Amino acid sequence: MKRETEGREAKEDVKLKILNAAKKLFAKKGFEGTTVRQICDEAGVALALVSYHFGGKENVFFALFETFAPDFLQKEYELKDPVEDLSALIREFTLFRLAEPELINMLQQEVMMQSPRLERVQSVIHGLWRQLIRILEKGRADGHFHYVSLRHTVQSIIGTLVFARSTAFLDPVFQEAGEPGQASENGAEVVRYTTGFIMNALQCRKAQWL
């Protein structure tokens, strides 16, 4: 029994090494730019183990989203308080983005490239966007949110949540504007800034989100 347990633990350790290596490389080089050999070299495992544990590079890619995607992506909101629901959704996704920047980079790449893998990736995250739509519609019906186009509002919020990132690319522009230093990576601050931006865009005046 002890040997069986140790064997399972060793197998799971190898799988996790492969997944962590793949996540790093996919985020940096993209799916097409990463080879199985590179993943195995990064993980420090034998080349054959990717096929043995996952059946190929594409299955490693999907396993990353299935393994590291947080439970809140499948959460269903009760809609008793759409302002609080939206605040919670923003908070959870923002903290997820900060905790898993490599996974977010992979998602960004797949969306921008409209890759053949996107449909399966969408199955992991589309449930959250359906909840976002329900929250916005309820909030508008209750008089808390004000917007004209649901489609453009949802796309703008998703863009803010998924594609916002701290980068040195704009630092020279900010420095010219008298805004030195880099953007905050403090989770609480980023959540507060993101929530304020979205709530103000929705003309939400309910004090609860402040």
* The two structure tokens encoding residue 173: 């522009």
What interhelical angle do 57-68 and 2-29 show, nearest 10? 100
Q: Quick one: pLDDT at residue 5?
A: 46
Q: How many whole angstroms from its chain centre is CA 17?
A: 21
Q: Work out the average pLDDT over 136-150.
A: 97
What does the pLDDT average to over 170-180? 78
The pLDDT value given to residue 208: 58
Number of other residues whose CB lies within 10 A of the CB of residue 56: 10
What's the mean pLDDT in 70-93? 93
Across the chain, mean pLDDT equals 88
Q: Is the pLDDT of residue 162 over 60?
A: yes
pLDDT of residue 125: 87
Q: How far apart are CA 207 and CA 197, in angstroms?
A: 14
Q: What is the percent of the chain with per-residue pLDDT over 90, rounded to a whole number?
A: 61
Residue 88 has pLDDT above 90, yes or no: yes
**Cβ distance 40 to 46 under 8 Å?**
yes
| Burial tier of 76 (Cβ tally within 10 Å: 0-12, 13-18, 19+) | exposed
Give residues with Cβ within 8 angstroms of 6, minimum separation 6: none
Mean local confidence (pLDDT), 162-176: 76
- CA distance readout (Å), 133 to 97, 185, 196: 20, 28, 19
Distances (CA, A) of 134 to 76, 78, 90, 154: 10, 10, 14, 11
Cβ count within 10 A of residue 11: 13
Per-residue pLDDT at 210 exceeds 60: no
**pLDDT score recorded for residue 207:** 59
Identify the CA nearest to 107 among candidates 94, 117, 92, 95.
Answer: 117
Quote the CA–CA distance of 59 and 65 in Å, as a whole number. 10
Give start and end residues of each alpha helix (H) in the chain.
Answer: 2-29, 36-43, 48-54, 57-68, 82-99, 101-113, 118-141, 150-163, 171-176, 187-201
